[in-house]
Amino acid sequence: MSADIKSLGSFVWSIAELLRGDFKQSEYGKVILPFVVLRRLDCILEESKQNVLDMAESLPNDMDDEARDTLLSGAVGQDIRIYNLSRFTFASLKGQDAKDIHKNLLDYITKFSGNVRDIFLDKFLFTDQLKRLNDAGLLYQVFDRFTQIDLHPNAISNLEMGYLFEDLIRRFSEISNETAGEHYTPREVIRLIVSLLLINDKDALTGSGVIRQVYDPAAGTGGMLAIAEMEMKALNDRIRVELFGQELNPESFAICKSDMLVTGHNPENIAFGNTLTQDAHSSKRFHYMLSNPPYGVEWKKYADPIKDEAAEQGMDGRFGAGLPRISDGQLLFLQHMISKMRNDEQGSRIGIVMNGSPLFTGGAGSGESEIRRWMLENDWVEAIIALPTDLFYNTGIQTYVWLLTNRKHTARRGKVQLIEASGERFWKSMRKSLGSKRREISEEATKEIAHIYHDMLNGNAGWEDVSKIFDTTDFGYREVRVERPRRIVFKGNNEQRQALEGTKAFQKYDLGFQNRVMDTLRDKFDEVEFRNRGEFLERLQLVLDMDGIERDAKLIKMIAASAEFADEDGEVQKDSKGNLQPDTSLRDHELVPLNEDWRDYVKHEVLPFVPDSWVDETHTDAQDGGVGRVGYEINFNRYFYKYVPPRPLDEIDAELKALEAEIAGLLQEVVE
């Protein structure tokens, strides 16, 4: 962010200070952000104002609305789709009586073209804020401060406007304890994603007549779309880039849509609403898709339509591969993006930044694992890049860029490249932190990461700890169920007697009978242990006969059940067919790599340690029917872990003694 933009952001922030006392801090953004957009549009339209008014005067009243909009937008003289029919501009409003500012501003806003009126009236709800400002006697002061800044594109580029919105949203979110990161992504992260998406397509993007469609399902303020277009046009200034997106947050949507209007894009391509439940571009497929969906955001409140779509449409819908846990919807966005890949020769490329959860959360058979399985078995995942921590404004957690495509180059087929770019060589500290953002990826680091990816470096000299390439099957495993036999002994003790006394079947006998049985067990079985069921039942029947208790098969079975205790030296139990009974408390699961036969694995990894164990071959995978459930996970630490030996004990001991001496000195100073 340039010094000029920081200075401009500070000036706009100072305007927000005028609201103190009459507005809550959480409401500042609802006033300032729409004013910034309004001033930007005013600067763009001011010089063509008279042309537009003259054109409007010349048009017949019964003209078709679409044709009328086209002619009036054309009168602006720029490749934009907006106009304003009010006689006012910010400059002329400033010359009016201050007491009329509310009325005149309403006239100005309501006479924008319909696509802009929607932004201010329905999404920003700006007329409500204007009334509050007017009632508080602040409207003219705020308006007058905005007339002092020049937001014309000649002075502030679209990219710089993005930085300005970033800065303002971050500040407003911090003072209101909201989640700023839901609205935008740091520009250097976007540049990295775009660079990775385009670096293998440079040849395909050159020449004339090239058209590419770019989509962001969580568009925020439109930063990803804007930078994608900018980088593509840097490769080919003749390329036609069509931008599409959808955004749930009203203010972010309004900013994004106004940016599309200013830059000449079709504003209808930016939809408002929840992408996961109301896909506004259901029939569209895109060349490039990029996104930074919310991390760890619960989707419980709109789970029903998602679950219904998954159940009704299956693999023909967007969520047929699986549903992640209700507490995190990142993989829902990724599935949605995959559903929009083109099936033509060009195919599609996806870049999405997520936290670590989608890499490894969920065991075999879980929704997350099944989604990973679907992506890897279809060979869509091309590379995953681990980014440094402390890059984002609202969180310091580590994030990862996933790159996917349905048109892999030959050398990448069946392969996935992992790039560990979180080390110090790939980031630099910021001179001043912005929220949780303390680091940034330099332009040189972006080029280096793109080079590592483009050249498919695989543990090459100098890159051993940075880049490794794996087969897609290397991330898969079979979770086989290992059973051990149930072994028990029989004995009478307090636990047994209490358990027996608490059963309804025993309580149906009269109290005298119950006491005789309890006395018999107490006398005969305390601390006596039988390792064989037959011996125990024989002894039990003998005790009952000696005390004159009538034979009762149910009673004997009930007493025997209460006297069973697990013991590793006890008798192995079998069912009526002679099969070993498993002890569920000893059940274990082994993760067998997909490229290894589970029989061989068990033979050398399990049986030498638990020779009486066996694999439950009825525990099978729902998809392929093989023994064990298939799972997939991608664990960066496993592949890039570097052992660091602990410090010598003498060194630690010396440090502790030094600290003790320092503490003693401080305490002495307190005493004195």
Selecting from 3.40.50, 1.10.3210, 1.20.120, 1.20.1260, what CATH number does the domain 3-176 have?
1.20.1260
When pLDDT is averaged across residues 56-63 and rounded to a whole number, the result is 89
Whether the Cβ atoms of residue 427 and residue 388 lie closer than 8 Å to each other: yes
pLDDT, position 512: 75
The architecture of the domain spanning 180-411 is 3-Layer(aba) Sandwich (3.40)
What mean pLDDT is reported for the chain?
A: 89
CA-derived radius of gyration, the chain: 35
Note the pLDDT of residue 563.
Answer: 76
Q: Which residues pair with 489 in a beta bridge?
A: 565
Asked if pLDDT for residue 264 goes beyond 70, the answer is yes
Name the more confident of 280 and 492. 280
Q: Which has the higher per-residue pLDDT, 634 or 516?
A: 634
C-beta atoms surrounding 219 within 10 Å: 30
Q: Does residue 523 have a pLDDT over 60?
A: no
Highest mean pLDDT (candidates 46-50, 206-210, 566-570): 46-50
Taking every pair of Cα atoms in the chain, the longest distance, rounded to a whole number of angstroms, is: 119
Residue 247: what pLDDT? 94
pLDDT over 90, % of the chain: 58
Beta bridge partners of 470: 416
Q: Report the 3 state secondary structure along 135-158.
A: HCCCHHHHHHHHCCCCCCCCCCCH
Element (H, E) at 402: strand 399-405
| CA dist list (Å): 346 to 213, 229, 380, 454, 503 | 12, 18, 14, 18, 71
In DSSP terms, 484 is beta-bridged to: none
Say if residues 336 and 284 touch (Cβ distance below 8 Å). Answer: no
Q: How confident is the model at residue 178 (pLDDT cuts 50, 70, 90)?
A: low
What pLDDT is stored for residue 112 in this prediction? 94
Whose structure tokens read 């007493």? 559
Range with lowest mean pLDDT among 208-222, 298-312, 426-440, 549-563: 549-563
What pLDDT was estimated at residue 392?
Answer: 86
- Res 150: pLDDT: 93
412-441 average pLDDT score: 91
How does residue 180 score in pLDDT terms, banded at 50, 70 and 90? Answer: very low
DSSP 520-587: HHHHHHBT-EES-HHHHHHHHHHHHHHTTPPP-HHHHHHHHHHTEEE-TTSEEPB-TTSPBPB-GGG-
How far, CA to CA in Å, does 28 sit from each of 17, 132, 143, 251, 454? 9, 12, 14, 12, 45
Q: Any idea what DSSP says for residue 119?
A: I
pLDDT at residue 177 is higher than 60: no
- What is the pLDDT, as a whole number, of residue 528? 64
Would the pLDDT of 492 be above 50?
yes
pLDDT over 70 at 1, yes or no: no
DSSP string spanning 246-308?
EESSHHHHHHHHHHHHHTT--GGGEEES-TTTS-TTTT--BSEEEE-PPSS---GGGHHHHHH
Split at pLDDT 50, 70, 90, the class of 510 is: confident
> How far is residue 278's CA from residue 270's CA, in Å, rounded to a whole number?
13
Copy the structure tokens of residue 226: 């804007």
Residue 659's alpha-carbon distances to 654, 655, 665, 671, in angstroms, are 9, 6, 10, 18
Between residues 179 and 12, which one has the greater pLDDT?
Answer: 12
pLDDT on residue 215: 98
Band (pLDDT 50/70/90 cuts) for residue 498 is: confident
Residue showing tokens 């789709």 = 81
Q: Which residues contact 638 (CB under 8 A, 6 or more apart)?
A: none
Confidence of residue 102 (pLDDT cuts 50, 70, 90): very high
- pTM for this predicted structure: 0.83
- pLDDT band for 432, please (50, 70, 90 cuts): confident
What is the per-residue DSSP string for 472-488?
A: GGGGEEEEEEEE-B-EE
Average pLDDT on 579-596 reads: 93
In 3D space, the residue among 118, 119, 114, 89 whose CA is nearest the CA of residue 104 turns out to be 89
Whether 589 and 480 have beta carbons less than 8 Å apart is answered as yes
| pLDDT-derived band at 181, boundaries 50, 70, 90 | very low
Output the CA–CA distances (angstroms, integers) from residue 340 to 124, 238, 273, 285, 350, in the order listed.
Answer: 30, 25, 18, 5, 10
Q: What angle do CA 463, 357, 218 make, to 5 degrees?
A: 100
> Once rounded to an integer, what is the mean pLDDT over residues 31-48?
93
Bridge partners of residue 571, in order along the sequence: 488
Statement: residue 558 has pLDDT above 90: no
- For residue range 311-346, list pLDDT tens digits in order: 999 999 999 999 999 999 999 999 999 999 999 989
Question: Which pair of tokens denotes residue 626?
Answer: 């093989």
Per-domain residue ranges for the chain?
3-176, 180-411, 487-572
Give the range among 79-88, 403-412, 507-516, 655-664 with minimum mean pLDDT. 507-516
Span 184-210, mean pLDDT? 91
Give just the sign of the alpha carbon dihedral 572, 575, 580, 584: negative
Distance CA 369, CA 376 (A): 10
pLDDT band at 10 (very low <50, low <70, confident <90, very high): confident
CB distance 417 to 365 below 8 Å:
no
Instruction: Kindly tell me if the per-residue pLDDT of 463 is higher than 80.
Output: no
Determine the pLDDT at residue 307.
Answer: 96
